[in-house]
C-alpha cells in the first residue's frame, strides 16, 4: 500500500503579520514547515511527499528546506493557488499513492502516533480527519454579532489536519467541484473533508483523535506555544530512543 502526503505551504500567513511567510519562520532550530516534512519523511508507510509552496518560492523551498535537510521523499515541489483548496488540487495531480494525507505545513506538532491513526482509519473508512472535541462553548451569531444559537457542545469537534482519503475519493470530489464551478456555482470551502462531503461519493468522514498540541501556527503567540510543544516532543523522543 502506498500513502502519499501533500504538505501545504503556499499560504501568505497574513494573520502572522511577518515579513517572512509563517511556514519559513524559525521555531526551535528549524523553520515551521520542517517539522511536518520530517514526520512524513520518517514515517515508514509514507512513500512520497508533494510539497506545495508559493509560486515564487519553489527554488527557495528546494534549496533551504528539501535539499538542506535531505527530505528525499519529496518527489515534487509545486506552486499552489490562491485558495487552500486550489493548492490541494495542484498537489493532488502528482499523487501516485492509493491513499493521500493532506496536511497544513503550518501544523508542526504532528507525531508518528497520529500519522499511524490517520493511515489506519483512512484504510478502514475511506476518509478521516484529525480532530478534537471543542473545549469552549460555541455560539452561532448573526451579522450584527448577536447570538442566535448555542449548538450542543458534545456534538462539536475542532478540525485539524492531516485529512486522509482514498485518493480516488478526493480526485472524484475535485472533479465534482470543477463541474459545479463550471456551472457558475458559488463554492466556499475551508477544508478538504467539506469538499468530500459536498462532492464525494457518499463516503462519510470519520473523526480520528488528533491532539490539542496539534495547533496551526496562525498568529505570533502560536509560535511561542509551538516552540514549547516541539521542545517537549524532542525530549520524549529522546526518552523513547
Cβ of residue 153: shortest distance to ligand CTP, in angstroms? 24
Q: Quote the longest CA-to-CA distance of the chain.
A: 56
E strands, the chain, where?
3-9, 26-27, 30-31, 46-53, 74-79, 99-104, 127-133, 140-141, 147-149, 157-166, 206-209
We find the least distance from the C-beta atom of residue 105 to Mg ion, in angstroms, to be 12
CB nearer to ligand CTP: pick between 124 and 212: 212
Q: How many CB atoms lie within 10 A of CB 131?
A: 21
Instruction: Map residues 2-41 to x or -, x wherever contact with Mg ion holds by CB under 5 A.
Output: ---------x------------------------------
Helix, strand, coil share (%) of the chain residues, nearest 5: 40, 25, 35
Contact footprint for ligand CTP (CB under 6 A) = 8-15, 23, 52, 80-84, 87, 104-106, 216, 218
Chain residue whose CB lies nearest ligand CTP: 11
Nearest-approach distance from CB 159 to ligand CTP, in angstroms:
12
- For residue 83, the partner it binds in Mg ion, ligand CTP, none, with Cβ less than 5 to 8 A by kind, is ligand CTP
Q: Which of 9, 94, 118, 99 has the alpha carbon at shortest distance from 58?
A: 9
* Chain contacts with Mg ion (rule: CB under 5 A): 11
Amino acid at each position: 500500500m502506498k500513502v502519499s502526503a501533500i504538505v501545504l505551504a503556499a499560504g501568505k500567513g497574513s494573520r502572522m503579520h511577518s515579513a517572512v511567510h509563517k511556514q519559513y519562520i524559525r521555531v526551535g532550530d528549524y523553520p515551521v514547515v520542517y517539522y511536518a516534512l520530517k514526520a512524513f519523511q520518517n514515517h515508514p508507510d509514507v512513500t512520497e511527499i508533494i510539497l506545495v509552496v508559493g509560486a515564487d518560492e519553489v527554488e527557495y523551498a528546494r534549496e533551504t528546506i528539501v535539499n538542506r535537510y535531505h527530505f528525499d521523499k519529496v518527489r515534487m515541489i509545486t506552486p499552489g493557488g490562491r485558495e487552500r483548496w486550489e493548492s490541494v488540487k495542484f498537489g493532488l495531480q502528482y499523487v501516485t499513492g492509493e491513499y493521500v494525507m493532506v496536511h497544513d505545513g503550518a501544523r508542526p506538532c504532528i507525531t508518528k502516533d497520529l500519522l499511524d491513526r490517520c493511515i489506519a482509519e483512512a484504510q478502514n473508512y475511506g476518509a478521516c480527519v484529525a480532530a478534537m472535541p471543542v473545549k469552549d462553548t460555541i455560539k452561532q451569531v448573526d451579522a450584527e454579532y448577536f447570538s442566535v444559537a448555542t449548538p450542543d457542545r458534545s456534538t462539536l469537534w475542532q478540525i485539524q489536519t492531516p485529512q486522509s482519503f482514498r485518493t480516488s475519493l478526493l480526485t472524484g470530489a475535485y472533479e465534482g467541484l470543477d463541474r459545479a464551478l463550471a456551472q457558475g456555482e458559488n463554492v466556499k470551502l475551508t477544508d478538504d473533508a467539506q469538499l468530500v462531503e459536498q462532492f464525494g461519493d457518499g463516503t462519510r468522514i470519520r473523526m480520528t483523535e488528533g491532539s490539542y498540541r496539534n495547533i496551526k501556527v496562525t498568529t505570533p503567540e502560536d509560535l511561542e506555544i509551538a516552540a514549547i510543544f516541539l521542545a517537549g516532543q524532542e525530549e520524549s523522543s529522546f526518552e523513547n530512543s
